[in-house]
Amino acid sequence: SLRYLVYFRTATTLILPVLIMIVTTGLILCYLVKSRRVARRAGSKTQLQGVATVVITVIVYCVSIIPTIVAYIFTYIAPEWQSDEFSWFSTCFTGLNIM
């Protein structure tokens, strides 16, 4: 039962935020596409900077969280593979979101 609790913790702290980011990105992109159509009907030009910003932000977040997910998975699957260097790398790599 403790093992399932570990899986639940990993899913809720690492995988769920990534899924939420992907779903909210889809919703935001739908909204931006609709607003672009409305702006075109009104005769104004819209740029794709908003779409590009949203997509790049989500891609950077999802890519930066991958090392952390891998570190957590290896901690539970093979504890002897756990290293301080990789843990440090995954923590710093996640900091790319802030930049």
pLDDT digits (tens, 9 = 90+) for 39-49: 788 777 767 78
Alpha-carbon distance 76 to 3, whole Å?
9
Alpha-carbon distance 44 to 36, whole Å?
9
Alpha-carbon distance 54 to 56, whole Å?
6
pLDDT at 83 over 70: no
Q: Model's pTM, two decimal places?
A: 0.64
Nearest Cα to Cα of residue 7 among 67, 64, 16: 16
